[in-house]
Amino acid sequence: MWTEQLKEAAAFIRDRDDFLIVSHVQPDGDAISSTVTVAWLLDKLGKQYTMLNEGPVPSRLRFLWKSSEIRSMDEAGAADGQPQARTYRNVICVDCADYARVGRTEQWFAPDAELLNIDHHPTNNGFGRVNLMKTHAAATAEILFELLDELGLELDTDVATAIYTGLLTDTGGFRYSSTSPLVMAMASRLLQAGVNGPELAEHLLERMTPGQLRILQRGLSRLELSEDQRIAWLWVTSDDLEDTGATNEDLEGLVNYPRNIEGVEVGLLFKQNGEQSVKVSMRSAGRVNVAEVAQAFGGGGHVRAAGCRFAEPLAETIRQVIGQVRKALDAL
């Protein structure tokens, strides 16, 4: 079954040319690593492609091979100041939990576009013409490593570093429950291929920007716990980002603080983007399936890490999400 999926995905790539590679809005380490890994293998096969994301590549990830060639869109749908010139028939989506996660890059898909959907989210509904999905994979990068093997391509340091970055970031530094024996075997091969593991861990996981520390300080000052101490949450606003000089990418990891509190089952982060726009991040200590909680509000993700968006005021969003988490806790 899995080997058939791998062969089908390999055929999608081999039989076509001129691809658009996209990942999810507000891309993370796995999204960008997976984008450049697909670009790398298309390069090796002598194929043409364009990499596109709705937003810019987070600055922390700009060291990745060819990441500077990933185009990002402005409000008008143009990329890097260039108006959209054309659309693409062959689209490869990586790390997108569902179709909506491609965001406005959809404007670049031809009406008769065919999609190869490569992903590891259990809530993925298989929106592609061809789907390469392994829900217990630690990262989309893990799936791509297998695809590389299927295509008979030899690792070099560039692609090994990208794959390692995807694995490292999506496993929180090889710590989450998704860190399987296969992940460690892959990490071993990647290190042998020349990846500098300690340097990547330092750069991607340890180092903090001043803005990151200041937004952490502000977020923690607002920490709240439910009466039974099983739910903890923080909230931040766009004004907070402005005041502290933090960027959206500086919010990564903030949701772990409420989750890490002893006894807490679910940690939440509410990021208010506007009067009626809130992004919710959910993290579970293991017993509550937060992907299901997020799905109740049209979002998705993994059992222990999920998210959704609300077109409601902050207070109303907090009320609804906490209510749903309480229901999930009561059902345990």
Residues that bind ligand 5GP (CB under 6 A): 97-98, 101, 121, 123, 281, 299-302, 305-309
Query: Is residue 217 within 8 Å of 209, Cβ to Cβ?
Result: no
Strands 109-119, 130-133: pairing is parallel
Partner from ligand 5GP, Mn ion, none binding residue 307, C-beta < 5-8 Å depending on class: ligand 5GP
Location of structure tokens 């990942």: 23
Partner from Mn ion, ligand 5GP, none binding residue 142, C-beta < 5-8 Å depending on class: none
What's the Rg (C-alpha) of the chain?
20
Is residue 250 close enough to count as binding Mn ion by CB under 5 A?
no
Give the bridge partners for 310, in sequence order: 278
Residues in CB range of 50: below 8 A, 6 or more apart: 19, 20, 21, 71, 88
DSSP state letter for 248: G
Q: Of the two residues 98 and 250, which places its CB atom closer to ligand 5GP in the complex?
A: 98
Q: Applying CB under 5 A, which of residues 9, 20, 30, 161 lies at the interface with Mn ion?
A: 30
Partner from Mn ion, ligand 5GP, none binding residue 30, C-beta < 5-8 Å depending on class: Mn ion
Is residue 95 close enough to count as binding Mn ion by CB under 5 A?
yes
Partner from Mn ion, ligand 5GP, none binding residue 31, C-beta < 5-8 Å depending on class: Mn ion
Strands 277-284, 300-301: pairing is unpaired
Is residue 170 close enough to count as binding Mn ion by CB under 5 A?
yes
Q: Of the two residues 160 and 170, which places its CB atom closer to ligand 5GP in the complex?
A: 170
Distance, in Å, from the CA atom of 227 to the CA atom of 100, rounded to the nearest integer, reads 36
Q: Of the two residues 35 and 90, which places its CB atom closer to Mn ion in the complex?
A: 35
Is residue 249 close enough to count as binding Mn ion by CB under 5 A?
no
Dump the DSSP string for 23-68.
Answer: --SS--HHHHHHHHHHHHHHHHTT--EEEEESSPPPGGGTTSTTGG
Q: How far is the CB of 106 from Mn ion (least distance, A)?
A: 18
Partner from ligand 5GP, Mn ion, none binding residue 60, C-beta < 5-8 Å depending on class: none
Query: Contact positions toward Mn ion, by CB under 5 A?
Result: 28, 30-31, 95, 139-140, 170
